[in-house]
Chains A and B, each alone.
Chain A
Amino acid sequence: MDVLLQAIAFVLQWQNLAALAGGTVYGIIIGVLPGLGPSAGMALAIPLVMTWHPATALIFMGALYKCSNYGGSLTAILVNTPGDASNAATILDGYPMCQRGMGGVALGLSATSALVGGTIGMICLIYAAPFLADFALEFGPAEYFLTAVLALSLIAAVVQGATIKGLIAAGMGLLLSTVGFDVIAGHLRYTFDWAPVEDGIPLIQALVGLFAVTQALVLAESAASISRLAELSGSFWEGVRTYFRHPLIMVRASLIGLFVGILPGVGQSSAGLLAWADAKRVSKHPETFGEGEPVGVIASETATNSCMPGDLVCTIALGLPGSVGAAVFLGVMIIFGIVPGPLVFMNQPEVIYSLFVALFLTSFLIFIIGMTVARRLAVVTLLPNNVIVPLILVVSLLGSFAIRNEMSDVFISLAFGALGYVMLKGGFTPIPLLLGLVLGEMVETNYHRALLISGGSYSIFYASVICKILILLTILSLVGPYLGPFWKTLTQGEK
């Protein structure tokens, strides 16, 4: 308790508050730019913070990491372009809300989700970090493999509407993730001697193409603005009130986000989609999801925001980053001489708890910023297409280029833009493909690791209780959508 009070006093010093505010604003700007995610933002900011006190630097970086997710949700809602993979779930209902002229409400939901989800996640992190870390240690390669398979099957089943098409899209994503060096033997696969993809298809560039470029092309086809109603209805505060009318979804999504966050490698992209799928499953009106249902935004955004503290548990307590952003954050910690692991809570508690307190305050800052800029930002949905389309393209392709300073990344984004458009024409959505691309390396690595441990025996995949539960959940997620109508047919007879 003393340590926590000391941390609060430390964070309230002016230079740390300034770092907090600076990291918040910078993080939101970074998040808004498709392609420049938290990892790139933190990398760009390292020279800025090198001479700072380690705790102050971590406060800045932590705020940047957390707020970049909120920035990404703004573009996900307003222009159907997630700023990062973690915002992919928000476009499912956030953008349709904008098309119905309810952009302000959606932004209110997003800011409130950041406040509530982030607060719940941080409180759990502060008190439960050691216990959560222990639970994460129960997961071995087989469990991670099955967790990823469960995430893919859940998303395929609920996002696509037809499970089989979702699984096909997920399969495409997993196959694309095998391009490049093989994780086990180091053999080059499917590169056709093209150097830019030897390290695999770059995820951010693919995301920019699948969503930003595709969305720009879709908007270019239409003569209207993003909002079909040519006016804005609903306010930020209506979004806030709507949020608190669904306390159960708030709690469920927070817990899902926290659980996913503590599993290294699964990541925020899975958290948002899993929570969205769960909310749809328990809803009395699942048909409204994907058409601008506020509960969809609440679930996805709350889970994504509560996932980040869980992600930090593994990064700080175990030294296992749960995402690329967490990996860069881990690098920043090490640069400042803070060695992650269970002992960090004993050796440098003032630094770690200062970070926790700062992240707790960041949630409130996000809400205040959202409250002040939401209406102004929502006006973007009324801009004519001849302005918004090139703006999306310039900003997103710039982000794509800036990561590696290579023109080939722009071509990759354009290629994925074409793929995303063709998929939409062919009746497929790109979200399962994106998740397959994100989780592909984790799936393959843990698949091989599990077989190595078991000596080639597949029994390892159903040996533990956790594995059995995951297999059962996967089967239920795949057959669940068909059980309802089948049961109805059995009980009611033929019409």
Chain B
Amino acid sequence: MKEKLKLTEVWFKIVLLFVFSGFYILAIPYPQESGQFPQLLAAISLILTLAALAADFLRAQVTAGEIGDVDDTELKVVDTATRNVRRRRFYQAWAILLVSTGVGYLGGFLFSTVLLFGGFGLAFGRRENLVKNMIVAVAMTVVVYFIFGRIMAVPLLNGVLW
């Protein structure tokens, strides 16, 4: 299916317009030698982004689904069902990551790592491998703890509760 615009790209560039404008405006109260360089960069970047947007609108046609999917080594055109599955997996991954990070902040490295491995094993692993995935989660946590924390003396997250 042919479309006029690559919507995801266009929206991203519109957001960039605001970002570059923000950089320019925030630099106004800075002393001249401090604000000159970022304002120059922001102005140039703004002009380039406007030019890119103009090119997008002037472009004749593009094939839908060419972008909007980060995995372009597979099919160039991804159907809606696949896109929805990927979106769900993406949100699940972020949820596990953020919860694990929060738990790590409170409880420390061990809790965070077990939750991360366990969460991904539960959400993305096969159901019949559930026990195996949980064992892998604990084992990987122990391995990482010993290699990094004990052998290499890399500082590990302690957690504010301890």
List the interface of chain A (C-beta within 8 A of B): 29, 36, 44, 96, 99, 162, 164-165, 167-168, 171-172, 174-175, 178, 182, 184-185, 187, 189-190, 216-218, 220-223, 228, 384-387, 389-391, 393-395, 397-399, 401-402, 405, 407, 410-411, 414, 421-428, 444, 447-448
Contact between A222 and B86 (Cβ–Cβ < 8 Å)? yes
Contact between B48 and A220 (Cβ–Cβ < 8 Å)? no
Nearest CB to that of A215 among chain B residues? B70
B117 / chain A contacts, CB cutoff of 8 Å: 387, 390-391, 394
CB<8 Å pairs between A and B, sample of 17: A29-B152, A164-B48, A175-B20, A175-B41, A189-B30, A217-B90, A220-B90, A223-B124, A385-B124, A390-B117, A390-B137, A393-B116, A394-B144, A398-B156, A401-B156, A426-B9, A427-B8
How many Å from the CB of A176 to the closest CB on chain B? 9
A391 / chain B contacts, CB cutoff of 8 Å: 117, 140
A168 / chain B contacts, CB cutoff of 8 Å: 13, 16, 45, 48-49, 52
Interface of A is mostly: helix
Contact between A165 and B125 (Cβ–Cβ < 8 Å)? no
Nearest CB to that of B140 among chain A residues? A391
A389 touches which of B9, B52, B120 (Cβ 8 Å): B120
Contact between A390 and B116 (Cβ–Cβ < 8 Å)? yes
Annotate B89-126 by CB proximity to A: 1 below 8 A, 0 otherwise. Answer: 11011100110010011000100010011011101110
> How far does the alpha carbon of A66 sit from the alpha carbon of B101 in the complex, in Å?
33
Contact between A190 and B89 (Cβ–Cβ < 8 Å)? no
B124 touches which of A174, A178, A389, A393 (Cβ 8 Å): A389
> How far does the alpha carbon of A227 sit from the alpha carbon of B140 in the complex, in Å?
22
Nearest CB to that of A402 among chain B residues? B154
B155 touches which of A401, A414, A423 (Cβ 8 Å): A401
B138 at the interface (CB under 8 A from A): no
Contact between B157 and A448 (Cβ–Cβ < 8 Å)? no
B63 at the interface (CB under 8 A from A): no
List the interface of chain B (C-beta within 8 A of A): 6, 8-9, 11-13, 16, 19-20, 23, 26-27, 30-31, 33-35, 37-38, 41-42, 44-45, 48-49, 51-52, 55, 67-68, 70-71, 73-74, 86, 89-90, 92-94, 97-98, 101, 104-105, 109, 113, 116-117, 119-121, 123-125, 133, 136-137, 140, 144, 148, 152-157
Contact between B124 and A189 (Cβ–Cβ < 8 Å)? no
A164 / chain B contacts, CB cutoff of 8 Å: 48, 51-52, 55
B116 / chain A contacts, CB cutoff of 8 Å: 390, 393-394
Contact between B33 and A448 (Cβ–Cβ < 8 Å)? yes
Contact between A398 and B144 (Cβ–Cβ < 8 Å)? yes
The listed residue with most A CB atoms (<10 A of its CB), out of B19, B48, B49, is: B48
With A172-B16, A401-B157, A447-B37 known to touch, is A221 a contact of B89 (CB < 8 Å)?
Answer: yes
> How far does the alpha carbon of A427 sit from the alpha carbon of B55 in the complex, in Å?
14
B97 touches which of A36, A187, A414, A428 (Cβ 8 Å): A414
> How far does the alpha carbon of A264 sit from the alpha carbon of B83 in the complex, in Å?
46
Contact between A218 and B48 (Cβ–Cβ < 8 Å)? no
Contact between B20 and A427 (Cβ–Cβ < 8 Å)? no
With A175-B45, A402-B154 known to touch, is A165 a contact of B34 (CB < 8 Å)?
Answer: no
With A190-B26, A427-B9 known to touch, is A175 a contact of B38 (CB < 8 Å)?
Answer: yes
How many Å from the CB of A273 to the closest CB on chain B? 20
With A36-B154, A398-B148, A426-B9 known to touch, is A221 a contact of B37 (CB < 8 Å)?
Answer: no
B55 / chain A contacts, CB cutoff of 8 Å: 164
How many Å from the CB of B131 to the closest CB on chain A? 14
With A386-B121, A427-B8 known to touch, is A174 a contact of B41 (CB < 8 Å)?
Answer: yes
Contact between B31 and A185 (Cβ–Cβ < 8 Å)? yes
A421 / chain B contacts, CB cutoff of 8 Å: 70
